[in-house]
Structure 1
Amino acid sequence: MEDIFRSYWWLLFPIGAFVFGAWDRWLAYKRSRDHLDLLKSYAERGKEPPPELVRGVGADMDGLNGEAPGGYGPGVPPYDGYGYWGHPRYMRRAYRNYYRYGPYWQWRTVFVTGAIAAGFWWASEWSDWPGTYGPFRLVAVILTIVCVGNLVFALMASSFRNK
């Protein structure tokens, strides 16, 4: 039994991520259920719920559904006092998505995966731990392939940026 924990200690990280992800989803479910219960109580009393409460139902979701915020249809930016595309949250999201897929992030990914692959190549050759040549070499080969794939995507992102 002690050997299992010594050999597979690293499984604690993905298992922990799954546990915390499930906990986050459970809390989101409870929050949305409580929100809907509050809306039901307004409906049972025959009162109109406040518009902020109704808007808050979809706060965890994107809110776009393929349309511009405000329901004007795809590609038609509404103007509602905040500027085009409405609330600053939508502008931040568009800014994040624009630069996330730009060449800067692609080249950054190439350099990071290349540096990690080089580290594993170096470790596979110069490591003094017995039995690490094969695993380090395998990880180095996989990361080199990932780096080459990222390089192809970075070249494509740089070449076809405005098309």
Structure 2
Amino acid sequence: MDTNDVQDLFRSYWWLIFPIGGFVFAAWDRWLSYQRSRDALDLIKTYSAQGKEVPPQLLRQVEEDAWDDEDDGYSGRRGRRAARRYYRHGGYWQFRAAIYTGAIAAAFWVASEYAFVPGTVGPFRVVAVILTCVAAANLALALLSSAFRKK
């Protein structure tokens, strides 16, 4: 493989940097969470071995990091945070996402119709179709979340 092949490969698939980067950062976040939980449990074991009482803050941290099932369908710290945000904002964020992705999809439809750069009609149309589907899904989620909101 010579340098022209590598350059062509990078030009064709440069956008893969973003999902791969997302996977790397998500894995790093999970690793740090694991380290934090492991250190907290080791500290609890140390307190127990010495016969001392475990501080309530440490127990609270372990409880928040644990993946426990609750009655409202949300679990763990992230789930409780999502439940608070859901009740605070309602369907607002879903409608907002539908409007933004719809506007961007419309911009790509216009760009595909009036393509000033040769060879961009096809890619712009593909992006426009994908964003239109995402906007429709966001709108459906917004309507469903406002119609079936938990009381």
Answer yes or no: same fold by TM over 0.5. Answer: yes
What is the aligned length? 140
Q: Paired residue for 2:27, among 18, 22, 42?
A: 22
Query: More deviation in 137-146 or 122-131?
Result: 137-146
Q: Structure 2-normalised TM-score?
A: 0.75
Mind listing any 5+ residue stretches in structure 2 that lack a counterpart? 1-5, 74-79
Shift in Å, 1:136: 0.9
Q: Paired residue for 2:107, among 119, 141, 149?
A: 119
Structure 2 Cα separation of the partners of residues 144 and 93 of structure 1: 26
Aligned Cα root-mean-square deviation (Å): 2.8
Shift in Å, 1:103: 3.5
| Matched AA of 2:54 | P
Shift in alpha-carbon separation, 1:51–1:118, aligned structure 2, 3 A: same
Q: What is the percent sequence identity of the aligned residues?
A: 59
- Give CA deviations for 1:16-39 in whole Å, capped at 9, x if unaligned: 111111111111111111111111
User: Equivalent residues in 2 for 1:63-142 (5 A)?
Assistant: 65-67=69-71, 94-100=83-89, 102-142=90-130
User: Equivalent residues in 2 for 1:36-47 (5 A)?
Assistant: 36-47=41-52
Mind listing any 5+ residue stretches in structure 1 that lack a counterpart? 69-73, 75-89
Q: Structure 1-normalised TM-score?
A: 0.70
Which structure has the highest helix share of the two?
A: 2
| Matched AA of 2:59 | V
1:148 corresponds in structure 2 to: 136
Shift in Å, 1:139: 1.8
- Give CA deviations for 1:2-56 in whole Å, capped at 9, x if unaligned: 2112221111111111111111111111111111111111111122212222222
